[in-house]
Structure 1
Amino acid sequence: MKNRLLLLLLLLGTFAHAQSEISKTKLTELKAQVEKEAAKYKDSLAKAGGSFSQPLDIEYKTDVYRIEKLADKKIKIDYSTAGMSNAIYELNSDYDKLLNKYYGILLKKLSIKDQEKLKVTQRNWLKFRDSEIELIGIIAKEEYSGGGTIQSNIRASRISDLTKNRLIEIKEHLNQFLD
Protein backbone atom coordinates (compact mmCIF):
# COMPACT_ATOMS: atom_id res chain seq x y z
CA MET A 1 0.00 0.00 0.00
CA LYS A 2 2.81 2.39 0.92
CA ASN A 3 4.57 1.63 -2.35
CA ARG A 4 1.44 2.40 -4.36
CA LEU A 5 0.92 5.66 -2.50
CA LEU A 6 4.53 6.64 -3.08
CA LEU A 7 4.24 5.75 -6.77
CA LEU A 8 1.05 7.79 -7.06
CA LEU A 9 2.70 10.80 -5.42
CA LEU A 10 5.71 10.52 -7.73
CA LEU A 11 3.48 10.35 -10.80
CA LEU A 12 1.45 13.34 -9.67
CA GLY A 13 4.63 15.31 -9.07
CA THR A 14 5.92 14.39 -12.49
CA PHE A 15 2.73 15.48 -14.22
CA ALA A 16 2.58 18.70 -12.25
CA HIS A 17 6.04 19.68 -13.51
CA ALA A 18 5.73 18.25 -17.00
CA GLN A 19 6.53 20.28 -20.06
CA SER A 20 3.77 22.19 -21.72
CA GLU A 21 3.14 24.02 -24.93
CA ILE A 22 3.53 27.76 -24.80
CA SER A 23 0.23 29.62 -25.04
CA LYS A 24 0.00 33.08 -26.60
CA THR A 25 -0.56 34.54 -23.16
CA LYS A 26 2.51 32.81 -21.78
CA LEU A 27 4.56 33.93 -24.78
CA THR A 28 3.51 37.53 -24.15
CA GLU A 29 4.58 37.15 -20.52
CA LEU A 30 7.92 35.67 -21.56
CA LYS A 31 8.56 38.50 -24.00
CA ALA A 32 7.78 41.06 -21.30
CA GLN A 33 10.18 39.33 -18.89
CA VAL A 34 12.87 39.23 -21.56
CA GLU A 35 12.39 42.92 -22.35
CA LYS A 36 12.95 43.80 -18.69
CA GLU A 37 16.04 41.60 -18.53
CA ALA A 38 17.34 43.02 -21.82
CA ALA A 39 16.92 46.59 -20.52
CA LYS A 40 18.98 45.70 -17.43
CA TYR A 41 21.57 44.00 -19.61
CA LYS A 42 21.77 47.03 -21.89
CA ASP A 43 22.24 49.33 -18.89
CA SER A 44 25.00 47.10 -17.55
CA LEU A 45 26.81 47.24 -20.90
CA ALA A 46 26.52 51.02 -21.01
CA LYS A 47 27.84 51.34 -17.46
CA ALA A 48 30.69 48.91 -18.09
CA GLY A 49 32.09 51.11 -20.83
CA GLY A 50 35.15 49.83 -22.63
CA SER A 51 34.58 47.93 -25.86
CA PHE A 52 30.82 47.92 -25.26
CA SER A 53 30.49 51.68 -25.01
CA GLN A 54 29.71 52.20 -28.70
CA PRO A 55 25.95 52.51 -29.24
CA LEU A 56 25.92 50.00 -32.09
CA ASP A 57 27.82 47.45 -30.00
CA ILE A 58 25.39 47.87 -27.12
CA GLU A 59 22.43 47.55 -29.47
CA TYR A 60 23.87 44.43 -31.12
CA LYS A 61 24.73 42.69 -27.84
CA THR A 62 21.29 43.54 -26.45
CA ASP A 63 19.54 42.31 -29.60
CA VAL A 64 21.36 38.97 -29.45
CA TYR A 65 20.80 38.69 -25.69
CA ARG A 66 17.07 39.30 -26.15
CA ILE A 67 16.49 36.58 -28.75
CA GLU A 68 18.71 34.00 -27.07
CA LYS A 69 17.13 34.61 -23.67
CA LEU A 70 13.64 34.18 -25.17
CA ALA A 71 14.66 30.89 -26.82
CA ASP A 72 16.11 29.69 -23.52
CA LYS A 73 12.87 30.50 -21.68
CA LYS A 74 10.80 28.72 -24.34
CA ILE A 75 12.92 25.60 -24.01
CA LYS A 76 12.59 25.62 -20.23
CA ILE A 77 8.80 25.56 -20.61
CA ASP A 78 8.51 23.07 -23.46
CA TYR A 79 11.56 20.84 -23.27
CA SER A 80 10.11 18.14 -25.48
CA THR A 81 12.08 17.38 -28.62
CA ALA A 82 9.49 19.18 -30.72
CA GLY A 83 9.39 22.11 -28.30
CA MET A 84 13.17 22.51 -28.38
CA SER A 85 13.27 22.25 -32.17
CA ASN A 86 10.52 24.86 -32.49
CA ALA A 87 12.34 27.21 -30.14
CA ILE A 88 15.57 26.81 -32.11
CA TYR A 89 13.83 27.34 -35.46
CA GLU A 90 12.20 30.48 -34.03
CA LEU A 91 15.63 31.57 -32.76
CA ASN A 92 16.96 31.10 -36.28
CA SER A 93 14.16 33.29 -37.60
CA ASP A 94 15.10 35.94 -35.05
CA TYR A 95 18.78 35.68 -36.03
CA ASP A 96 17.68 36.17 -39.63
CA LYS A 97 15.82 39.36 -38.68
CA LEU A 98 18.92 40.65 -36.92
CA LEU A 99 21.04 39.65 -39.89
CA ASN A 100 18.80 41.75 -42.13
CA LYS A 101 18.96 44.66 -39.70
CA TYR A 102 22.75 44.72 -39.44
CA TYR A 103 23.19 43.95 -43.14
CA GLY A 104 21.09 47.07 -43.82
CA ILE A 105 23.26 49.15 -41.49
CA LEU A 106 26.42 47.89 -43.23
CA LEU A 107 24.92 48.52 -46.64
CA LYS A 108 24.21 52.17 -45.78
CA LYS A 109 27.82 52.70 -44.70
CA LEU A 110 29.18 51.68 -48.11
CA SER A 111 29.44 53.62 -51.34
CA ILE A 112 27.00 52.64 -54.08
CA LYS A 113 29.75 50.75 -55.94
CA ASP A 114 30.72 48.84 -52.81
CA GLN A 115 27.08 48.18 -51.92
CA GLU A 116 26.83 46.08 -55.06
CA LYS A 117 29.76 43.93 -53.91
CA LEU A 118 28.08 43.38 -50.55
CA LYS A 119 24.81 42.45 -52.29
CA VAL A 120 26.59 39.90 -54.49
CA THR A 121 28.38 38.49 -51.45
CA GLN A 122 25.12 38.19 -49.53
CA ARG A 123 23.36 36.48 -52.44
CA ASN A 124 26.26 34.02 -52.62
CA TRP A 125 25.99 33.40 -48.89
CA LEU A 126 22.25 32.75 -49.24
CA LYS A 127 23.00 30.15 -51.93
CA PHE A 128 25.60 28.57 -49.65
CA ARG A 129 23.17 28.61 -46.71
CA ASP A 130 20.41 26.95 -48.72
CA SER A 131 22.81 24.33 -50.03
CA GLU A 132 24.19 23.70 -46.55
CA ILE A 133 20.66 23.33 -45.14
CA GLU A 134 20.00 20.70 -47.78
CA LEU A 135 23.16 18.84 -46.78
CA ILE A 136 22.27 19.08 -43.09
CA GLY A 137 18.91 17.48 -43.90
CA ILE A 138 20.59 14.68 -45.83
CA ILE A 139 23.11 13.93 -43.11
CA ALA A 140 20.33 13.90 -40.50
CA LYS A 141 18.67 10.98 -42.28
CA GLU A 142 18.55 7.79 -40.27
CA GLU A 143 20.80 5.95 -42.71
CA TYR A 144 23.67 8.36 -41.94
CA SER A 145 23.03 9.62 -38.44
CA GLY A 146 21.52 6.60 -36.80
CA GLY A 147 18.22 8.44 -36.48
CA GLY A 148 16.38 9.26 -33.35
CA THR A 149 14.27 12.20 -32.37
CA ILE A 150 17.34 14.18 -31.34
CA GLN A 151 18.21 14.59 -35.02
CA SER A 152 15.54 17.28 -35.36
CA ASN A 153 17.24 19.29 -32.60
CA ILE A 154 20.68 18.81 -34.14
CA ARG A 155 19.38 19.87 -37.54
CA ALA A 156 17.64 22.94 -36.12
CA SER A 157 20.75 23.92 -34.17
CA ARG A 158 23.06 23.60 -37.17
CA ILE A 159 20.74 25.70 -39.31
CA SER A 160 20.51 28.33 -36.60
CA ASP A 161 24.30 28.37 -36.28
CA LEU A 162 24.62 29.16 -39.98
CA THR A 163 22.54 32.30 -39.61
CA LYS A 164 24.14 33.31 -36.31
CA ASN A 165 27.62 32.96 -37.78
CA ARG A 166 26.70 35.15 -40.75
CA LEU A 167 25.27 37.73 -38.35
CA ILE A 168 28.58 37.71 -36.48
CA GLU A 169 30.48 38.15 -39.76
CA ILE A 170 28.34 41.14 -40.74
CA LYS A 171 28.85 42.68 -37.30
CA GLU A 172 32.61 42.14 -37.59
CA HIS A 173 32.53 44.06 -40.88
CA LEU A 174 30.71 46.87 -39.08
CA ASN A 175 33.39 46.86 -36.41
CA GLN A 176 35.88 48.01 -39.05
CA PHE A 177 34.19 51.39 -39.38
CA LEU A 178 35.42 54.31 -37.38
CA ASP A 179 32.44 56.28 -36.14
Structure 2
Amino acid sequence: MKKLSLYFSILFLFSFSSTLLAQTQAEMDQTAINDYKKADNELNLVYKKLMKQLSEKEKKLLIVAQKDWIKFRDSKCNFEQKEYEGGTIQPVIYYACLMECTNKRTEDLKANLEDREKRYGAK
Protein backbone atom coordinates (compact mmCIF):
# COMPACT_ATOMS: atom_id res chain seq x y z
CA MET A 1 0.00 0.00 0.00
CA LYS A 2 2.88 2.37 0.86
CA LYS A 3 4.45 1.86 -2.57
CA LEU A 4 1.16 2.49 -4.33
CA SER A 5 0.55 5.62 -2.28
CA LEU A 6 4.03 6.94 -3.04
CA TYR A 7 3.62 6.17 -6.74
CA PHE A 8 0.35 8.10 -6.89
CA SER A 9 1.91 10.94 -4.89
CA ILE A 10 4.67 11.16 -7.48
CA LEU A 11 2.15 11.16 -10.30
CA PHE A 12 0.16 13.88 -8.54
CA LEU A 13 3.33 15.93 -8.05
CA PHE A 14 4.23 15.71 -11.71
CA SER A 15 0.71 16.51 -12.81
CA PHE A 16 1.52 20.13 -11.95
CA SER A 17 4.67 20.15 -14.04
CA SER A 18 4.36 22.27 -17.16
CA THR A 19 6.52 19.77 -19.00
CA LEU A 20 4.46 16.72 -18.13
CA LEU A 21 3.58 15.45 -21.52
CA ALA A 22 5.84 12.48 -20.93
CA GLN A 23 4.51 9.19 -22.18
CA THR A 24 7.54 6.93 -21.89
CA GLN A 25 9.65 6.12 -18.86
CA ALA A 26 12.59 7.94 -20.43
CA GLU A 27 10.45 11.05 -20.89
CA MET A 28 9.21 10.83 -17.29
CA ASP A 29 12.82 10.46 -16.11
CA GLN A 30 13.89 13.50 -18.12
CA THR A 31 10.94 15.52 -16.82
CA ALA A 32 11.94 14.64 -13.24
CA ILE A 33 15.54 15.66 -13.96
CA ASN A 34 14.45 18.94 -15.56
CA ASP A 35 12.11 19.74 -12.66
CA TYR A 36 14.96 19.12 -10.20
CA LYS A 37 17.34 21.32 -12.21
CA LYS A 38 14.78 24.12 -12.18
CA ALA A 39 14.44 23.81 -8.40
CA ASP A 40 18.23 23.75 -8.03
CA ASN A 41 18.61 26.90 -10.12
CA GLU A 42 16.06 28.67 -7.93
CA LEU A 43 17.92 27.55 -4.82
CA ASN A 44 21.20 28.88 -6.17
CA LEU A 45 19.65 32.28 -6.91
CA VAL A 46 18.25 32.60 -3.40
CA TYR A 47 21.50 31.33 -1.86
CA LYS A 48 23.56 33.94 -3.73
CA LYS A 49 21.15 36.70 -2.76
CA LEU A 50 21.33 35.66 0.89
CA MET A 51 25.13 35.47 0.80
CA LYS A 52 25.21 39.15 -0.20
CA GLN A 53 23.40 40.01 3.03
CA LEU A 54 25.79 38.16 5.35
CA SER A 55 28.90 39.09 7.27
CA GLU A 56 32.06 37.11 6.55
CA LYS A 57 31.51 34.96 9.65
CA GLU A 58 27.90 34.27 8.67
CA LYS A 59 28.97 33.39 5.11
CA LYS A 60 31.35 30.75 6.44
CA LEU A 61 28.61 29.30 8.62
CA LEU A 62 26.12 29.21 5.74
CA ILE A 63 28.66 27.48 3.50
CA VAL A 64 29.14 24.75 6.13
CA ALA A 65 25.38 24.47 6.64
CA GLN A 66 24.77 24.21 2.90
CA LYS A 67 27.41 21.49 2.48
CA ASP A 68 25.86 19.58 5.38
CA TRP A 69 22.41 20.01 3.89
CA ILE A 70 23.60 18.65 0.53
CA LYS A 71 25.01 15.56 2.26
CA PHE A 72 21.71 15.08 4.09
CA ARG A 73 19.64 15.61 0.94
CA ASP A 74 21.71 13.14 -1.05
CA SER A 75 21.60 10.52 1.71
CA LYS A 76 17.84 10.95 2.15
CA CYS A 77 17.14 10.59 -1.55
CA ASN A 78 19.48 7.63 -1.92
CA PHE A 79 17.59 5.97 0.92
CA GLU A 80 14.19 6.74 -0.61
CA GLN A 81 15.12 5.38 -4.03
CA LYS A 82 16.65 2.19 -2.60
CA GLU A 83 13.20 0.65 -2.11
CA TYR A 84 12.67 0.83 -5.88
CA GLU A 85 16.11 -0.46 -6.89
CA GLY A 86 15.99 -2.11 -10.26
CA GLY A 87 12.57 -0.67 -11.02
CA THR A 88 11.88 1.76 -13.81
CA ILE A 89 10.36 4.27 -11.38
CA GLN A 90 13.61 4.54 -9.38
CA PRO A 91 15.03 7.58 -11.23
CA VAL A 92 11.72 9.44 -10.94
CA ILE A 93 11.60 8.72 -7.19
CA TYR A 94 15.19 9.94 -6.80
CA TYR A 95 14.80 13.18 -8.73
CA ALA A 96 11.39 13.92 -7.21
CA CYS A 97 13.01 13.59 -3.79
CA LEU A 98 15.85 15.91 -4.83
CA MET A 99 13.33 18.43 -6.11
CA GLU A 100 11.18 18.27 -2.97
CA CYS A 101 14.16 18.67 -0.64
CA THR A 102 15.57 21.48 -2.76
CA ASN A 103 12.25 23.33 -2.78
CA LYS A 104 12.06 23.06 1.01
CA ARG A 105 15.61 24.34 1.38
CA THR A 106 14.85 27.22 -0.96
CA GLU A 107 11.87 28.17 1.18
CA ASP A 108 14.06 28.06 4.30
CA LEU A 109 16.67 30.33 2.72
CA LYS A 110 13.97 32.68 1.41
CA ALA A 111 12.50 32.95 4.90
CA ASN A 112 15.93 33.79 6.29
CA LEU A 113 16.49 36.36 3.58
CA GLU A 114 13.08 37.96 4.10
CA ASP A 115 13.64 38.08 7.85
CA ARG A 116 16.99 39.82 7.36
CA GLU A 117 15.50 42.29 4.91
CA LYS A 118 12.77 43.16 7.44
CA ARG A 119 15.28 43.63 10.24
CA TYR A 120 18.05 45.40 8.36
CA GLY A 121 16.43 46.65 5.18
CA ALA A 122 17.40 45.52 1.68
CA LYS A 123 21.06 45.93 0.80
TM-score, scaled relative to structure 1: 0.51
Q: 1:96 aligns with which of 40, 62, 66?
A: 40
Q: 1:133 aligns with which of 77, 80, 95?
A: 77
Greater fraction of residues in helix: 1
Q: Which residue is 1:169 aligned to?
A: 108
Q: Which runs of 5+ in 2 are unaligned?
A: 1-15
Q: Which residue is 1:107 aligned to?
A: 51
Q: Which has the higher contact order (CA 8 A, sep 6+)?
A: 2
Is 1:157 paired with 2:96?
A: yes
d(CA) in 1 for partners of 2:27, 2:76: 24
Per-residue CA distance 1:44-71 (angstroms, 9 max, x = gap): xxxxxxxxxxxxxxxxxxxxxxxxxxx8
Quick one: which amino acid aligns to residue 155 of structure 1?
Y
1:120 is displaced (CA, Å) by: 0.9
1:75 is displaced (CA, Å) by: 1.2
Quick one: which amino acid aligns to residue 79 of structure 1?
Q
Q: How many residues align?
A: 103
Percent identity among equivalent residues?
Answer: 28
Q: Which runs of 5+ in 1 are unaligned?
A: 1-70
TM-score, scaled relative to structure 2: 0.72
Larger radius of gyration: 1
